[in-house]
Amino acid sequence: MERNGLENRARERKIGNWVGGIATFFLISFFLVPAYLPANSVPDLSGRANMIDYYSEDSWGNVQTSGGQSTGHNQSVHGEFAWSELDPYAAFVYGFGDLNCHMKWERSWDINGNQMPVCVRDIGIFFGLAIGGFLFSRRGLNRWTLRDSFLSMFPDDKLDSTYKNNTRTRLILIVAAISVIPMALDGFSQMLTDYESTSFMRLITGTPFGIFVGAFLASSLSARPLFFSKDPSRVLLPSGSRFTLSAEEE
């Protein structure tokens, strides 16, 4: 019997591996695609997050001509880029980056003279996503709720006081703060001041955030009460705690 009271954790292992595997696919692709494309075929880019900027020669990123706007640059100086003209795999990867990342050249790495599809911080985030997913595949359990499934990755003996004092939400908020605040401070400092972060700082602040998101995503997909026949008392929790259903009011 597993630590949650079920006979096995095959589903949790599968979900964690899927989360980690998909993140790993993207992470590898971010390095592989610019490496195999012709050298110097992807110029310096500067787009907008959550927007399509470089789909074709007529897209927003390629028609910018002034350096005075808050985003974008004079793309004609650097060379036009249209990811729709690439092979299907490369187009998918660069299209994904175009939609989800600002693709600013000064915050991205180059490989083979080609700018990578996403910035360095996103590299750290996807690296963390892979770690979070694979960590859950090794340690995570379905413990009825998302909150308790997430906490299942920690050793049960380290959670005794958390469950005895019912401070589970507080602990998750602390873990979230540790994961998110460094990236938020680094990002907003760049936005609001003259501070410019380094590639190393973007990488190490993006990775913890990715780990948290990957583990949280795997936990949300794994938490299923139906595996306990909808009987909360069957869930094994640290410190001998048990879920109970509230008594119905008469």
| 125 shares a domain with 90 | no
| 111 shares a domain with 38 | yes
- Give the model's pLDDT for residue 69: 62
Backbone angles phi, psi at 167, to 5 degrees: -110, 35
Pick the closest to residue 206 from 139, 108, 115, 138 (CA basis): 108
- Give the model's pLDDT for residue 246: 62
Pick the closest to residue 115 from 77, 81, 88 (CA basis): 81
| 129 shares a domain with 100 | no
Q: Which residues of the chain have pLDDT under 50?
A: 248-250
Q: Rounded to the nearest 5 degrees, what angle is found at the Cα of 169, between the Cα atoms of 156 and 12? A: 50
| 157 shares a domain with 108 | no
89: domain range?
28-118
Domain boundary among 92, 118, 144: 118
| 108 shares a domain with 167 | no
Q: Which residues contact 139 (CB under 8 A, 6 or more apart)?
A: 152, 153
- Give the model's pLDDT for residue 66: 63
- Give the model's pLDDT for residue 193: 87
| 233 shares a domain with 148 | yes
Distance, CA of 49 to CA of 71 (rounded, Å):
10
pTM score above 0.75: yes
- Give the model's pLDDT for residue 64: 82
Domain boundary among 64, 83, 118: 118
Number of independent structural domains in the chain? 2
